Structure formats: structure tokens, C-alpha cells
Structure 1
């Protein structure tokens, strides 16, 4: 053991000798490298993306991606236009505003034009029964003028369209514009800029909001935009933390030179990391923006260790060069091992099969590994040129000759009896922690976006939409694959299976509402029979089901041509981890009792499907991550 240790010591000392001997050239190299990477850092871009949230190998996401060419909706945003004046939405001023908002949303770059849905789009229609049979048209007449007659017609059309609770609020005080985002901007061929989409949405809010109109907006793009907007505040807090750290370092070291060196060296791995990202073809996701700040905090800790070791040797009478040599020999091995363990800790989170987590792990690992160069190699070189101020030297010598009251009292805990008490208390805390860990929640906690404050505009908008409509942004898509049947919507066994699923899901706690082709078909069939609720059922024959043909149109987004593929939309009250987990388990239980060779239910799409898959990926990786981390460190 001693031979191996001596060999390590010799290697470290030889490295220190070379470091000091070549310090001028190495320092020049490090400075040039810093300048080059600093310039490259100016090209670092924010790189948000919805698909990075998706654990693509999860069973739910495999189904979601397979059906995404037929059904969209996971990357959706909602713009709710609320009337705050007297009466309801059936007035000229409100409907003119809604029409303009619809047009502005339609022309946002990256929006799937076909997905834009509002009272003014052609894909929202009503159906009525006349003496000649079925008659259907758009809910707002093409030549709408806002006259009393037109407003009465719109009111009647909306009531017959089945959109109350969906596009129109239950209290008739607001309606929404719904749209999906594409992955690529068709004009540029590049990924959609979420920041630009969020800005356009805010422009719409600013343009149309007044004493009578309120605009509420939710969706992933808007959430990312709000996070990006909040980066200014984050950077402000970082500046404040930087100043506080500097003051604390100065109080500890009594040297502005050591303080400045420690801060600059702690910033270097951040600059190098941001400079390397564009060279590696990477960006930084707004959701992982705290990684550079984390790297800085770790860098400060390691810089203080090295500067303190150097200072102690200087106070003992060693020249700066010799003190830097000695500090390197003392700190390099334990410091580098600590950084390697940090990198390992960030590395094991990549066991979670989610692209954004992989990206975060890679970014953090690179930043920590860079610290071995900046804090363990470059810092000793800088210290070898540093001279301690006379005042700092005098205070250091004075402190070395005395005892700090606080640390002297705490040192008593190192005695056998007090140490045993500390050990016992630690074991008790370990037991309490292990017991409470059983209640650890996977997923979001609370309503709204946890990335933002509870009172943020986004979360307030989200709550208003949930309270006003029977649907919201939290939706889970359950896909239905029909096999061996030519027309799924005309097959009683298919429609009754979907009806049963719809009925059972409505009674699940956490489910707000359900939309399915079976439910819509029953409404149309009842309407075809003078609105008699007794006819609101699934007939047992193909001929009977054909009465609901108007509900089986692909334009509604629930079926494909021929009803070979369908989706059932399950709207949740919120997306808390417990709610999502419960609804998913109940959905799986219900599906297990309905699966047949002809009708196959598959989970799950929508933003809740993505959340469920992400939560499952975290649960699956949790034990392996902890075992890998503790085992490697041990």
C-alpha cells in the first residue's frame, strides 16, 4: 500500500514540477483557450424542444409516435378570449376580436395551419335536422355582419355544434382558439423558435386586451417563453449571489487578490462550457439553465480549497512558487477525485431515458471535468505569480496564532463520547429519511406549471381555463386500433367498446371530461330522432350506427378515414404526479377488460401521456441510479 502511495506521490510531484517549469507557456495557452472559448460562448443558443421531453423508448411514447402522423395535440397551445363586459360572447365587438385573434394565431410561424380551431374556422360546424334531412354548416356565417339576426344565428349554431364546454366556456363568457405546433418551421426548415412563438402570443395579448377583453394563454411554447423571459431575473440573482460570494470570500481570506482569483477561476469552467457547446453542436435548454450556475458554485468550492492551501504555506514562510507547488501536491488527488465523483453523479442521471435529462447530464459532466483543468492545473499557475497583500498577511499570521471560538467549540464533537452521540443522531435521521422517502412523489406537485410561481400569469391563465371549460390543456389520448373490420364506426362491437371505455373513465377521480367518437355518435343519433334522449345510445346494427355518420368525420380529429384508427381524449383536472399515476392505472385496468382481437386500446398520447411516460422512466431508473452512484463512490 505504501509503495503504491509513494508512486502516486511521485507522479503528482513530477506533474507539479512540470506545471511550474512550463507555467508561462501553459498560462499563455490557457489564456488563449479562454479567449477562444469565450468568443465561441457568444454563439451559444437556447435550445428548447418539446420532443426532448419524450422518453422515446417508453411503450406509451412508441404508440404516441406511431399515431402522431394521424393525430396531433401533444404540443398544443390554447388562447382563450374572455368577455368581461355585460352579457355574454354573443356581441359584435367580442366576435370581431375573436376573429382577429384567430387570424393572428393562424399566421404564427410554426403553427400547423390545419390544426387551428375556433368558432371562425371551417373545421367547426353544426348539424341540424330539417325536413330534407341533415344540414350542416360553419357556426359563424361567411357573411357575418354582427347584426342582431346574425348574432341570434351564431348563438343557435353554437348550441347545436356541441362546442359548449369545449371551444366555448360553460358560462358563455369566453371561447378559445386552439392550435398545434410543428417540429420544424416550414418557412425556414429549422426547429420552431418557442421564444418567437411566445413573443407573438404575448403580442396578441397586448394588442387585444382592454377593459372588456381578457386574453388567457397556456401551452408548452408559452411556458418555455415565460421561462426564457424569467432568465433575466435568474441572471440578476446570479449577479447578487456572485457579489455575496465575493464578500464572503473576502471576509474569509482578508485578501481581495485571492477573492478575485477564486471568483475568476470559478467562472472559467462556465465560460469554457458555454464555448464548447456550439462546437459540439449543442445548445442549452431553458429548463436546465441552472447548470452553469451549479458549475460556478462547485468551482468556487474547489478554488477556495486550493487558495487556502496556498495561503497556509505562504503564511508559513514559503515563496509563492513553492506554495503553489505544495498546494497542487496536497489538493490535486483529493480534489480531482471529488470532481470525478461529481461527474459520476451527473452521469448516472443519464440512466433516465429522457433526451433532455441526457442533455443535462452531458452538459454538467463536461463542466465538472473542465474544472480539473481550470481549478487543479490553471489555478496553481496563477497562484505562483500572486503576492499576498501585507494586510492579509498580517491578519493571517494573527489568526494562525489563535483559536477561533466557534470552531474550537465545535471541535469538541470530535471527542469519543460527543462523536458517538453525533453518530447516533445521524443514524436516527437516516432512519427517518428512509421512512419518509416512501412518500417521495414522482411527477409534478400542485396545479399549473411547477417551473413558474403559483401566482405567475401562466398559472393564473391555466386555472381560469380549467374553471371555465370542460376541457383544458391536460389531456391524455388513448388510441384505438381496429383490425379485421372495414368500417370501425359502423361496427357495434367497436363502438360499444369505446362507449364502455368512455363511460367508465368519466367516473375516475381526476378526470374532468371525455371525448370519443361513440359519445359524439350518440348525440347525433339522438338529434336525428328529434333530440329524444332515449335514442342517445349505440345501436346494435350497422344501419342504426349509420345515423350518426356526421360524427365519424376525420375533421373532428378523433378518427381517420374508415375509422381504422381512433383516439379518445381524456381531460384531467390537473397534471399532478398522483393524479396522472391514478388515472393511468385506472385506464390500464379498464382497457384490460375491453381488449379484443378486433379492438385494441393503446396508451397514451397528449401532454399527460408524455408526463406519464416521463414519470415512469424516472421510477424505473431510480433504484439503478442510486445503486450505481453509491456503488461507484464506495
Structure 2
């Protein structure tokens, strides 16, 4: 029998004419027991739906840092001796109508400080404000060196007490730290505990809301409050989840409307959307069952799972609708489509899962959990969209009008100008032009991508918009305190009791001077700098004595009264705090490079200079880990995709045709990130990996049908045209629909969601265009109908052209089932 065109299986109207034992063992196991399959899926959906009620939305500071990086290991080893350099919140309380030296302001500050002291999760021992006893002054009086709390003993709010407070603050060294340069605000420094004494993790959502409650309470009493810190960023992101859910719902509606516009069939549209949403429910239900939560960085994963599900579901629905339109029984149509597209869909989903799983190579727990969550979501799509959806459609079928319309549209599409345009790229002239343009775009994208930076490129919190309350608070801190909230701490390890040795402090003093000359460094503080100040103070403030003298007794005396944040209790660790203008990638790299070079030249048995603590130090370690894993991640994901494609097609030429369009999209996406000012960081890495996985979906669906038709002896033009009519239409539909859905994210109040929306829309569109234009152009030069290429395609794809040994009862083994 002459092979029939791809996508046109023999019309079997009556089930008794169909052999239920035809098809693969997997097909027989599923469709011959489809009632049991549906029942099991309903039970699983109910159980996992109940599990979703246990899913927690929270974040952890410890999960966002690369715990095994040497910098972080240094920080964790010395964490108990480092005051104010971990997870902390800074609350600036400003007096808009005067200065801090007013009794009313100080009373509000005291009450606010007391309320914050009692909040769950606060490290009360290290909390610091003007009212805490660990905020002290040191100075020279008529009686010699003296000191004490900055709030004077017997403070009563009178003029004499306020004058004494002013004097104490001036001698405390806290101007620019706890007290603003213009004396109009002061800071409450609030270090946080990862867990409470009962071992319960800090609830950032609740903590952020408590801060907002206190802000609202005390701003009504004549002050303004500005809050910065990781906990506040996470709290604001979690509050923005409502907007994320809104845009998720909008994307679902857009996708459903587009599928309905294409099918004009309510039941099939509803089932495609239902199957994709069931996958999301399964994914979210499995997370708490496996001991995971969801955080602001992985909140977009459910939408990505839904988007991938819609892409695969639309392909299954389209195939079934076409067969039903020709008169085939709905059950048989479902089995035909399962045969043609299951392996291509499975390969594509495995590629998606691998694209996420490779994120596990990054030593940051929040990314690893995102990778696990996304891989689980893609894994369940195999059951919900490749298996459950065709089985459900085998029960419901599609409306007769929709089926007839689909068949009529297919016949008319043969002469549609759009399909004729895409078919032009199977011809040598157009194919050569497409490849030439792609090479130019690829080279331009590659050159631009070399400028792609690792880390944040903007001050403040780049996850939030510049005009957000948090970033306005950061701007206030920077302008009022002469430096940003970004602190990089260099740890200087010494033998116990030797932190004040002259040789060690002299090296610290030298490094301080060198760092202050670097662009981006606003100031420093250390025991060496304090020694200079005290020495000048002991000599009537004469600046000529602002020198670092070789007098060990004097250095020991100064160290004895120095604040604990400058050295450890055992005097075996010194802390050099470097206050930076911002935490941009270039600033951090410049400072860290200088410190590392200094350490190589000056480390000894008595003093080792170690990086890094402080918010900027932790960000440096994160940037280093991301940079090392970035290219490795792309290498692994492309290697995996190439391997899967080779298993499916058994031809290196077919692999090249499928993968080169993905490579072009990756380079152009990185160029777009440069243009948008987006760096490679925790929030963007998953999108880079996703672009490869989504793109291979489109390529696999089109290429599998093209190869199968060429195996029948069709020309490339005929084979590609058949692929366009069967799967290409849906590739275009899903690519455009998903791009429209995510582009709406640009209106989100969360900036990183808006950035991800732009990147994803770009990738959806370019991957679609690559599959429709560049793929046939490459196929023109690499794939030949008469070569052994098509004949050597994977045996698992043999059903793509409908061949099966037992489809019709009583047929010969080689009868075509297409």
C-alpha cells in the first residue's frame, strides 16, 4: 500500500474495525485501561491538591548564599565573632522638622527601639541604636581616657542632657554609621537570627509585616522611617506575589482564548487548559511532600510549567481534531496522535527537565530548590499532557463543527501565503539568505554577550523597581550616611591575644589606605584607624598626631576599650569594614581583586587576610559561584539536548539542524540582557536554561514530522509543508500566545518579573522563528530525502508516519496505518 501523507491516518469510524492490540506496549497499556488511568489521575490530583494547602511561601538568607565557597566558609567559621555583618535590617528614623537632638524625637526612637527589640527573630544581644548600652563613646577628658553609653547617665530630655548627648555622639565614631551626617536621623541596627530558640525558621513575611505595622504606627508621631536589608527585600517580594498571581491568571486566560480562537471548541480548549493546570497542582503538591517550600525566586516556575504544558497539549489536541475531522473515531484518533507525537513530546520534556536540572551544579540552595521544583513540574507533564490529555480527549472528542472547520482550514492552508512563505526557506536561495542573516545576528549577539556582567548592575535592590519604597529607602541611607548599606568585611586572623600587635595593625592600616584610594570605596573602619583617632585625641586633637606609632603599650590600651565589632573577644580576629558606594559587579570585583593581591603579598603566620563578610562580601561570593557555573550550565544543558536529539534522530546532521537555532537564540538573549542592563544572577540563570528547553520543543515537533515524511520519499519542501500543516501551526500559535502572555509582566511592580517577562517573550518568539525559518534552511543543506539519514532515524519514531503492524484487524504486518 502506498504510504499516506503524514498526519493522515486511515479513517476508521467503527471501533470494531480497529485492533486494540495494535501500537506499542505503552500505548496498549494506557489506552486499553484508560478508565483506570483516569481514576488514578483523579486520586493523585485530589491528594496533591490537598498537599498544596501545606505549601509555604518563605525565604531564607542562608539559602541565597553559596555555602561551600571559601569566602562564605570563612564567614561562617567566624560568624559568632562578627558583629553586624550577617543578615540584618537597618531602620533609619528621621526627624523631618529638625534634628535628632530633640526630646520628642528621642522619645519616639526609644519606644520604637524597644518594640523592635521584642520582635521574634531579632538578635537582641547585637542589636544597636542610640538607646542600647552597647553604643558607647570614648574620649579624652581632664581625667584622661573616659567613655560610656552615648545616652548620658540621668538623661532627662533637658537642654543639658541633649548637649551632653551631642558631645558623646561626636566622640563615639558613629557619625556616618548610626547617626546621619546631617544629624537629622539615626539608625536602629537589627541583626536577625536564622532560627528561634525552638528551631523555627524566621518567617520573613510575618517579620516584614510587623516592620510595616511599626512604620505606620510611628510615622504618625512625627518621624519618617526607612528600612533596608535582606528581610525587607524578601518581604516586599512576597507581598508582590499577589501581582504575580494576577499576571499568572491573565496569562492563563490569554492562552485559553488563543487556543479557543484556533479550535472553536470549548471542550478541547478546556481539557488542554485543565491538563496544564493539573500539572501545576501536582508540582505544587509534591513540593511540601518532599520537604520543600516556594520562595520569591521560584514563584514563576508554576507559570513556566503551565506554559510548557499548553505547548504540548495544543499539539495533541490539534492532531486528534484533524483525525476526527476526517471521520476517525475519537478513541482511535487519540491513539493515532499518541503514536505520532509521544516520543517527540517525551524527548522535548526530557530536554526541558534536563535544562532545569543542570541548575543543580550551582552551589546556591535557592537555585537548587528552583531546579528541583521546575524539574518536578516538567516531569509531571509527561503524565498530564502526554498521557492524561489524549485519554481524556478519547472520551470527549471535539465538537463536529470544530473538527470540520479544522479539516477545512487544513485544506485551505495548503495555499495560504504564510505557509508558502515559510516553505521558501527550503529553497537554496532563501535558505542561504536565512543562514547568512543568522550568522550575522549570531556574531553580533556574541560580541554583545561578551559585555554581559555577572551580578547586579544597579544600586539598591534590582529585584524591585527604582521607584519602589525599598529603593527610595536605600537612596535615603546612601545620601544621609555618606555611604551605601553595602559593606565588605575583610577578616584578619591572628593568634589569640595578638590582634593588637603593631606589625599586624600596621598591615591593616596600609590596606585601609590603599582601599580608600579605589573608586567605589566611600570609607573604612578598623582597630588601626581607631588607634590613629585616639592618639590624636590624647594629644588635644592635634592632627599632627593622627599617626600610627610603633608603641605596643599604647595599642594594647586602645584595643582594650575598642568596640567589639572591630575585634573578637579572644583578640584572635580583626575586622576591616569597607563601606562601598554600591554593590555593582564592577565595584565588588575591583575591591576584592585588590584585597586578594594584598593578601598574597602580606599573609604570614601572625596575620592572614581573609574574604569575606558583610552584605557585599556575600554578594561577591555569590557572583563568583554564578560566574563559574554559568558557562558550565550552558555546556551541560546543550550537551544533554544534543544527546537527547541524537537518541531521537540517530543523525548528527539532524541534531545540528535542531540545535543551531537554539544557540542563536541563546546568544541573542544574552545580547538583550546587555541592552536591558540585566546581569547574570540568581534570578536570571533559570531563564537562560529555560530558553534552550523551550526552543527544542518547537524544533522536535517540526523536525520529527519532516524526517518521517522524508523517509517516505517526499522532498524537503513536501515534508516541511506537511510538518507546517500538522505541527507548525500549533508551534506558531503557542509561541505567539505565550509571548503575549508573558509580555504583560512588564506591568508588574516586581522588576525582576518584568525583566523575566521580556526575556521569556523574546525567547518564545525567537525559538519559534528559528524552528520555522532557520530549521528548514539548515535542512536544505544537511538533510536529503534519498540519503540514509532518514532511514536511520530512531526506531522509536517509526510511528511518526503512522506505520504499525496491527492497526486494522486482519491487515498484513506492513500495512500503513496513516
Pick the TM interval, shorter chain: over 0.9
Alignment partner, residue 562 of structure 2: 552
Contact 2:322-2:403 within 8 A present in 1 as well: no
Q: Name the residue aligned to 2:493.
A: 481
2:714 alignment partner in structure 1: none
Contact 2:516 2:524 in 1 (8 A): yes
Matches within 5 A, 1:127-142: 127-142=138-153
**Which residue of the partner structure matches residue 590 of structure 2?**
582
Kindly indicate whether residue 96 of structure 2 is the aligned counterpart of residue 81 of structure 1: no
Map of 1:3 onto structure 2: none
| Partner in structure 2 of residue 456 of structure 1 | 468
Q: How far apart are 1:289 and its partner, in Å?
A: 0.8
Structure 2 residue 398 is matched with structure 1 residue 388: yes
Of 308, 324, 329, 1:314 maps to: 324
1:342-357 to 2 correspondence within 5 Å?
Answer: 342-357=352-367
Q: Secondary structure at the match of 1:196?
A: helix
Is the counterpart of residue 117 in structure 1 residue 128 in structure 2? yes
**2:248 corresponds to 1:238:** yes
In the superposition, the TM-score normalised over structure 2's length comes to: 0.74
CA distance in 2, matches of 1:234, 1:632: 31
User: Greater shift after overlay, 31-40 or 506-515?
Assistant: 506-515
User: How far, CA to CA, are the matches of 1:246 and 1:602 in structure 2?
Assistant: 56
1:513 counterpart = 2:526: no
2:169 to 158, 161, 180: 158
Contact 2:455 2:623 in 1 (8 A): yes
The answer to whether 1:32 aligns with 2:43 is yes
SS of residue paired to 1:191 = coil
Q: Is the 2:488–2:612 Cα contact (8 Å) retained in structure 1?
A: yes
Say if 2:532 and 2:547, in contact at 8 Å, map to a contact too. yes
Q: Partner of 1:586: helix, strand, or coil? A: helix
Larger mean Cα displacement after TM superposition, 248-257 or 620-629: 620-629
SS at match of 2:125: helix
Deviations 1:592-620 (A, max 9, x none): 33322211111111121111111111221
Q: What's the counterpart of residue 214 of structure 1?
A: 224
Partner of 1:442: 454
State the TM-score, normalized to the length of structure 1. 0.95
Give runs of aligned pairs for residues 90-109 of structure 1, distance below 5 A: 90-109=101-120
How far 1:145 moved relative to its partner? 2.3
Supply the distance in 1 between the matched residues of 2:141 and 2:179 (Cα, whole angstroms).
Answer: 25
1:35-59 residue CA offsets vs partner (Å, 9 max, x unmatched): 1100011111123101111212211
* CA displacement, residues 413-435 of structure 1 (integer Å, 9 cap, x when unaligned): 33221122111111111111222
Map 1:158-557; keep pairs closer than 5 Å.
158-186=169-197, 188-210=198-220, 212-403=222-413, 404-483=416-495, 486-489=497-500, 491-549=501-559, 551-554=561-564, 557=565
RMSD over equivalenced CA pairs, Å: 1.7
Residue-by-residue CA offset, 1:330-387 (whole Å, 9 max, x unaligned): 1110000000011111111211111111111111111111111111111111010113
Residues 1:551 and 1:497: Cα distance change in structure 2 (over 3 Å): farther
Greater mean deviation of Cα atoms: 114-123 or 397-406: 397-406
Paired position in structure 1 for 2:612: 604
SS of the aligned residue for 1:561 comes to coil
Q: Distance in 2 between matches of 1:522 and 1:324?
A: 83
Paired with 2:612 and 2:401, the residues of 1 have a C-alpha distance of: 68
| C-alpha deviation, 1:550, in angstroms | 5.1
Instruction: Give CA-to-partner distance per residue, 1:70-102, whole Å, 9 cap, x none.
Output: 1142201100001111x3221111111111121
Aligned to 2:625: 617
Residue 201 of structure 1 deviates from its aligned partner by 1.0
Contact in 1 for aligned 2:268/2:397 (Cα 8 Å)? no
Rounded Cα–Cα distance in structure 2 between residues aligned with 1:369 and 1:606: 39
Q: Give me the whole-angstrom Cα distance separating, in 1, the residues matched to 2:223 and 2:579.
A: 26
Shift of 1:547: 4.6
Which structure 1 residue ranges, 5 or more long, are not aligned? 1-9
- Deviation, 1:286, is 1.8
Consecutive aligned runs of 4 or more in structure 1 exceeding 6 Å deviation: none
Between 209-218 and 514-523, the greater mean CA deviation after superposition: 209-218
Matched length: 619
SS in 1 for 2:92: strand
How far the C-alpha of 1:261 sits from its partner, in A, is 0.7
Distance in 2, Cα, partners of 1:544 & 1:36:
71
Unpaired runs of 5+ residues, structure 2, are 1-20, 643-818
Residue equivalent to 2:62? 51
Closer, same or farther: CA 124–571 of 1 in aligned 2, 3 Å: same
Q: Any idea what the Cα deviations from partners look like across 1:436-480, whole Å, max 9, x if unmatched?
A: 221111101111111111111111101110111134321111101
Partner Cα separation in structure 2 for residue 543 and residue 98 of structure 1? 39
